[in-house]
Chain A
Amino acid sequence: MPDLTPPDVLDFQNVSKTYPGQPRPALNDLTLRVPRGSRTGVIGRSGAGKSTLVRLISGLETPDAGRLLVRGDALGPATRAAHQARTGLVFQQFNLLAQRTVLRNVTLPLELRGVPRARRDALAREHLDLVGLGEYAGRYPAQLSGGQKQRVGIARALVTAPDLLLADEATSALDPETSAGILNLLLDLQRERDLTLVIVTHQLEVVRAVTTHVAVLDAGQLVETGETAAVLRAPRHAATRALLDAHRPQVPLAPDETLRRVTLPDLNPDTLAALARAGARIVQAEPHPQGLDVWIAAPAASPEWAVLA
């Protein structure tokens, strides 16, 4: 039997979307493919059209022009429900139901599909354990921290066993440390469950930490795509450069100094000594899934960079 499943989970073909009454399209002639099993970042500043992309994939909006294929199907009344069941969504504002317990929030997607109560409770508990919140089943969202709420959001997104997980600014409302925890969880789950992960964000460090591929949106248009490392190393479009620059710490530099960013497992004495030998100083450090995200100011010609980078 030939394998008939398409290699791309998402296939945008010249998709445009203009909201009623809006002067310009939220998405304009977008062509983008997301391969099965990939970790793709969609980055762009606020208003770039990122959430519109998510709304199209999740069936909340339909394209005005072009075609969007999800797992090879155009989303229509006949196919939408099946695809929605296989697409998990995680949101910036968590979007949990305040009047439902944590457990009942996670059972909701199953409830909507008529899964019997005993089965959905068992599945929900299993997924709450998966995100480390088994003890919190009986609480209400208001009794949880932001990071815990997002974990519930992830459990809810995965309880229907989707193969595609969409996270729209999933860590934007969280502090850096909590964000790193959530991103790590998403990474682990993506690997364990062989998910296609689409991370939508305006935060470069999120794309850097999690994704293999990145698509840069600007004013509704796709301006750059490629492997994340390549795009971040040598951005071609002004919008991408602007996103990169926005994250440089604003510190005065000596004339021969350059600002470099490195990811370190930790700041142990050896690393610090190496930095000192290179005449480098740490300008900023933030938690990162692989340790610390560190901005370093150092002489441009410093040979020690090879060791660090």
Chain B
Amino acid sequence: MTWDALWPLLWQGTLDTLWMVVPAALCAQLIGTALGVLLTLTRPDGLHPQRPLFRVLDAAVNVGRSLPFIILLVLLIPFTRLITGTSIGSTAAIVPLTVAAIPFVARLVDGALKDVPRGVVDAARAMGASTAQTVFKVLLPEARPALIHAFTVMIVSLIGYSAMAGAIGGGGLGDLAIRYGYQRFETGVMIATVAALLVLVQLTQWAGDRAAARSDHR
């Protein structure tokens, strides 16, 4: 294949990948952060211990994280169809990607919040901070660099997952690699695709690291 033919394919593949990853990442960060905060608050030594709720959430997050993505993809087909009206294509892939990333983010956020020193939280409580104020004025802002780092790691994973979603017709760079590189033995396309994925991952990681470092005043 010539560059002239390859270039539009790569470009479209990259756009499709981004179209899957970016909305999924944003949704997952929102829901996953909420879940992570809930885990932190309800754990036995948290601000509002709720043992049963914590156990359920904790187990759900663990199960969600241990489920292989390709299985999740298949399991979620009815749910995906319900939400997007279809189970194939890039848009449909947003749903399983989001679901896969939520427990991942929840765990990272939970860990990031746990690193906020207890004394700082106690100080805020003693100043009269409500639970909501403790979360929004102390826990989340103090954990910001770790949250940015979590977001970065999650996007990188999603780029990888999106390549798998491509395998079942999700489009994107993974789809390109399978259709040309694997099914048609176009090694050049395969290499170009891998290079594109690498660039995407590196750019994400670099931007994420930079943002985290800039936001950290410790």
Instruction: Contact check, A112 vs B128: say whether CB atoms are below 8 A apart.
Output: yes
A82-101 at interface with B (beta carbon < 8 Å): 84-85, 87, 89, 91, 93, 95-100
Instruction: Contact check, B123 vs A89: say whether CB atoms are below 8 A apart.
Output: yes
Give A159-178 as 1s and 0s: 1 = Cβ < 8 Å from B's Cβ atoms: 01000000000000000000
B119-173 at interface with A (beta carbon < 8 Å): 119-120, 122-130, 133, 137-138, 141-142, 144-145
Q: A91-B119, A99-B217, A140-B217 known; A85 and B128 CB under 8 Å?
A: yes
B182-218 at interface with A (beta carbon < 8 Å): 215-218
Residues of A within 8 A of B144 (CB): 99
Residues of A within 8 A of B8 (CB): none
Residues of A within 8 A of B137 (CB): 108, 111-112
B213 to chain A, nearest CB (A): 13
Q: A100-B141, A111-B137, A112-B128 known; A95 and B217 CB under 8 Å?
A: no
Q: A91-B119, A108-B137 known; A98 and B217 CB under 8 Å?
A: yes
Closest to A96 in B: B120
Closest to B138 in A: A97
Q: A111-B137, A142-B218 known; A93 and B117 CB under 8 Å?
A: yes
Q: A60-B122, A95-B117 known; A109 and B217 CB under 8 Å?
A: no
Instruction: Contact check, B127 vs A109: say whether CB atoms are below 8 A apart.
Output: yes
- B interface, by DSSP: helix, strand, loop or mixed? helix
In the complex, which of the residues B130, B142, B217 has the most CB atoms of chain A within 10 Å of its own CB atom? B217
Q: For the complex, what is the distance from the CA of A95 to the CA of B128, rounded to whole Å?
A: 15
State the total of A-B contacts with C-beta under 8 angstroms.
Answer: 63
B210 to chain A, nearest CB (A): 17
A253 an interface residue at 8 Å Cβ cutoff? Answer: no
Closest to A21 in B: B44
In the complex, which of the residues B128, B129, B138, B218 has the most CB atoms of chain A within 10 Å of its own CB atom? B128
Instruction: Contact check, B141 vs A95: say whether CB atoms are below 8 A apart.
Output: no
B96 to chain A, nearest CB (A): 34
Identify which of B120, B128, B138 contacts A109 (C-beta below 8 A).
B128
Identify which of A84, A140, A142 contacts B128 (C-beta below 8 A).
A84
Instruction: Contact check, B142 vs A89: say whether CB atoms are below 8 A apart.
Output: no
Closest to A80 in B: B128
Residues of B within 8 A of A81 (CB): 128
Closest to A159 in B: B127
Q: For the complex, what is the distance from the CA of A91 to the CA of B118, rounded to whole Å?
A: 12
Binding site for B on A (CB under 8 A): 55, 58-60, 80-81, 84-85, 87, 89, 91, 93, 95-100, 108-109, 111-113, 140-142, 160
**Apart from the given pairs A87-B126, A141-B217, 14 other A-B contacts in the complex at a CB distance below 8 Å:** A60-B126, A80-B128, A84-B126, A91-B119, A91-B123, A95-B119, A97-B120, A97-B141, A99-B216, A108-B124, A108-B137, A109-B127, A111-B137, A112-B133
